[in-house]
Amino acid sequence: MSRIRRAFGIARSIAMYYGIPLRARRLRRFYSQFVTPGSLCFDVGAHAGNRVRCWRQLGARVVAVEPQPDFARLLRLLYGRDSGVELVTAALGRNSGSATLLVSELTPTVSTLSSDWAASVRAVPSFAGVRWAPGPSVALLTLDMLIERYGVPRFVKIDVEGYEAEVLAGLATALPTLSFEHSPAAPKVALECVDRLEALGRYRFNWSRGESHELAAREWLDGDALRAMLASLPPDAPSGDVYAVLRAANA
């Protein structure tokens, strides 16, 4: 039964990220403002790899980080022969080591390393049918370790289901541009991410709702304005992504 659930979950993710017409075009149009030909990008929480595909189509080199064994195998199948893609079967955190993954077999997009996050979102109606169980022990690296190994990325996407602040805690220097997922049911995580980024450098922020692939604010915001926006969201609002761009020294 577990094998059937896992197969269903993998098929569900592939259909979600590759089977929706025109999504790939929208992704390319959206990410072209951050990702340029020849740039280096980190996809932290690569899952089924649709961002990897998008960024390669935009001409970027990609480091794809994915701890779930099933999806690491899928990424190797899809991109293992692409010299512009480096695959890292691990998770990221504040320190190197290992951690136990909480796996949702039917909905693997929400597998997580954060038991606190899972407890918070479980109360939201959209997560009512989601169940997590202890899964494999996975290797933990840090963003600093990836930078030392592959270089400074132009863009980093962090989508790790409530573990985003832990990932940023493993970063010691400001990066040009990045995004992190936020869940209104667990607002503390996003607020910690904003605090960490502002400790590293002078950032301006924007956000996108759900899978809209559009920036919601006409003007980029400072940290306080973003915090107010995040605080205004009801717990059952859809998750989204926060985008952070480092300001120039004279800006």
What tens digit of pLDDT does each residue of 61-113 get? 999 999 999 999 999 999 999 999 999 999 999 999 999 999 998 889 999 99
- Total domains, the chain: 1
115 found inside a domain: yes
- CATH number of the domain residue 16 falls in: 3.40.50.150
Place of tokens 């169980």: 133
* The pLDDT value given to residue 17: 75
Confidence of residue 127 (pLDDT cuts 50, 70, 90): confident
Its pTM stands at: 0.94
251 found inside a domain: no
**Sign, Cα dihedral of 69, 112, 63, 215:** positive
220 found inside a domain: yes
Round to whole Å and give the CA distance between 93 and 96: 7
Round to whole Å and give the CA distance between 201 and 247: 8
Q: Which domain holds residue 137?
A: 2-246
Round to whole Å and give the CA distance between 14 and 76: 14
